[in-house]
A and B are shown apart, each in its own frame.
Chain A
């Protein structure tokens, strides 16, 4: 399955920020990646969407130069993370889905430590640490031990850590998981700010509405493969399936079957249909009413991204 890039037709195709070709990686009997091929444009926020265990974390580990694939290759910012991991680290910031902190250090010391780990002079790393603490609004916590921070604050500190060396590519693995709505909004704004400064951000999440609000592109990942990269703006009309729930007072299944519409039966009076776009949905509704079906409700299921995500899973089962 080939991934395609939905760049606007007017501009020339950009040099990809990320490229993967046939990446495979197994852990014991589990195949985490199975011929993963993808190419992503620079300077945008790209959402990695896929069910748990689809290979998103493994992909990000390979891209950050921490894990070697069994086969295939990758380039990030034009550099091979397997061959030259430390060069990759110089311009990539990686935030794992699960990470710990050195609890006995203060927030400032924690960020200073990573400044030093990126070989910054002490004065510079202190300056950068203060700058970042104010960016993520943790300045008042700079001398508190990390273990006194709340989960959301720790997550923000972790995000600040990935920015220590001003990377031009960010790999964020489930950055919003376990955060309350307010912390999520803050994180979303931080990600957008990075994008506005020209940073390429790859973010994986299962909170789809969240991704929808900050992403420019979406890459679908399933069973260790990339199932396509789409500009988010084109999603609802761009060929991805759209789902509608239909409720009627009389039999709706027979006419649907006659019309050859793919649908799923929820209860005797309720079905979920799948259409290509909004227009065909309107056509189906017109057809049903003309055939005497008394439709009392027809609502889209999920957002554009959620619909597309479910469609991908659906397509997988079919």
Chain B
């Protein structure tokens, strides 16, 4: 199986395309980090003009948060393409059946494809490390935070790759399976957001009468209940929610901003007070989010292995075994 992984990787990186993509990746991320740095510095200067003492305020959190959100966006763009035509293009080229005719078991073919794509995806993550070190040099970004965020990024890569493999094992045409894998990315990112929004505005409203010396008033609150689960598998939500708070002052931390706002969805009824460094935070969404994502990846993997099983019984219309 090691040989199969190696040969897959060799094929992936022997083309020129891969090196172009990787260099572009580094240039874009470095650019984003630099822009975030400029923005944070401008913010600090404006506070300074109003007499605040901003000397020595770390701007790392702004840079790191922007960098990681951007990295995740690029992952959503690049990673599905690493696996979403992996099985059906091999069927098209007539290279899959001869592999299946060897002693390789279906799960080994799946794992080899998954592992080789994962190693390439990890190479992209590794290529972002210099920029992350830069943000750490600007202070305010803890090591634990970096590790946690990278673990989530790797996990998202794994989920997208597994889903991509499943679409390529399911649909005969590579173009269609590529579109389908991006549809899943869309569903996970923007789709969860829209669905959550719709579910919230249609949530029941609870009215409570409060009596006071002026005759009383009615408070209104939407009962969100368990609807936060819709938002939980969103990769951006998981990423931001899992990252420990940086408690940065004066400069914005995008990860923290997302974390604070998504946790509003789990605020206990009646608790109106906004929370901050001192306040009590509502429970996290990411454990549920990660569980849903891992379940999705496992289901996709199980489906793919089933599609690689021999002897084939049902074939899609027009599908050839060889």
Interface residues in chain A, defined as those with a beta carbon under 8 Å from any beta carbon in chain B = 27-28, 57, 61-62, 64-68, 81-82, 85-86, 89-90, 94, 96-102, 104-105, 109, 112-119, 122, 125, 158, 161, 165
Q: How far is the CB of A45 from chain B (nearest CB, A)?
A: 20
Measured in the bound complex, the distance between the Cα atoms of B311 and A81 in whole Å is: 8
Instruction: Supply 9 further A-B pairs (C-beta < 8 A) apart from A98-B94, A100-B93.
Output: A66-B322, A96-B322, A97-B322, A98-B322, A104-B14, A113-B4, A116-B2, A118-B103, A161-B98
Q: How far is the CB of B102 from chain A (nearest CB, A)?
A: 4
Q: Is B230 an interface residue (CB 8 A)?
A: no
Measured in the bound complex, the distance between the Cα atoms of B107 and A86 in whole Å is: 13
Chain B residues within an 8 Å CB radius of A66:
97, 100-101, 310-312, 321-322
Q: How far is the CB of B289 from chain A (nearest CB, A)?
A: 38
Measured in the bound complex, the distance between the Cα atoms of B93 and A27 in whole Å is: 21
Chain A residues within an 8 Å CB radius of B101:
64-66, 89, 94
**CB–CB B7/A109 < 8 A:** yes
Q: Closest chain A residue to B101 by CB distance?
A: A94
Task: List 15 interface pairs A-B (beta carbons < 8 Å), by A numbering.
Answer: A65-B310, A66-B311, A66-B321, A68-B312, A81-B311, A90-B103, A96-B94, A96-B322, A98-B94, A99-B94, A100-B95, A104-B15, A117-B4, A117-B103, A122-B3
Measured in the bound complex, the distance between the Cα atoms of B100 and A202 in whole Å is: 20
* Chain B interface, DSSP helix/strand/loop, else mixed: loop
**CB–CB A116/B4 < 8 A:** yes
**CB–CB A117/B99 < 8 A:** yes
**CB–CB A27/B2 < 8 A:** no
**CB–CB A86/B103 < 8 A:** yes
Chain A residues within an 8 Å CB radius of B11:
102, 104-105
Chain A residues within an 8 Å CB radius of B15:
104
Within 8 A of A (CB), among B86-142: 90, 93-95, 97-105
Q: How far is the CB of A28 from chain B (nearest CB, A)?
A: 6
Measured in the bound complex, the distance between the Cα atoms of B311 and A65 in whole Å is: 5
**CB–CB A62/B311 < 8 A:** yes
Q: Is B222 an interface residue (CB 8 A)?
A: no
Q: Is B280 an interface residue (CB 8 A)?
A: no
